[in-house]
């Protein structure tokens, strides 16, 4: 019997967003909000394209990645949007402290 290696949920999410050319918003730990399309990613970084420019973002600086539609499944769980807002508010508060 052949077994497939388990795929990292982070890689699945980022790869779906990349392949589908979805617009995403990346919130950094500092509270900075970046919007664009994921061009590529690896173990340590993400390349985000916005306004014909590419930005290299180190994953250790990322708090949250939000897609326009769910990259993991076709339906988002109830309350997902409010959870994202709470995380963003938490990050913004953390940056002020």
Domains of the chain are 9-96 (2.30.30.100)
Q: Which residues contact 2 (CB under 8 A, 6 or more apart)?
A: none
The number of C-alpha atoms within 13 Å of 38 and in the hemisphere containing its C-beta is 27
CA of residue 48 relative to chain centroid, distance? 10
Higher-confidence residue: 30 or 90?
30
Q: Which single residue is written with the structure tokens 């708090």?
A: 63
Residues 50-88: tens digit of each pLDDT: 999 999 999 999 999 999 775 555 444 444 444 444 445
Residues 14-53: tens digit of each pLDDT: 999 999 999 999 999 999 999 999 999 999 999 999 999 9
**pLDDT for the residue 68:** 79
């Amino acid at each position: 019997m052949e077994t497939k290696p388990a795929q990292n949920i982070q890689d699945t999410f980022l790869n779906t967003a990349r392949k589908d050319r979805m617009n995403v918003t990346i919130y950094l730990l500092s509270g900075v909000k970046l919007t664009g399309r994921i061009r590529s990613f690896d173990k340590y970084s993400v390349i985000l394209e916005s306004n014909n420019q590419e930005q290299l973002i180190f994953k250790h600086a990322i708090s949250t990645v939000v897609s326009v539609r769910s990259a993991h499944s076709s339906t988002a769980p109830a309350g997902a949007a409010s959870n994202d807002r709470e995380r963003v508010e938490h990050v913004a508060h953390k940056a002020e402290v």
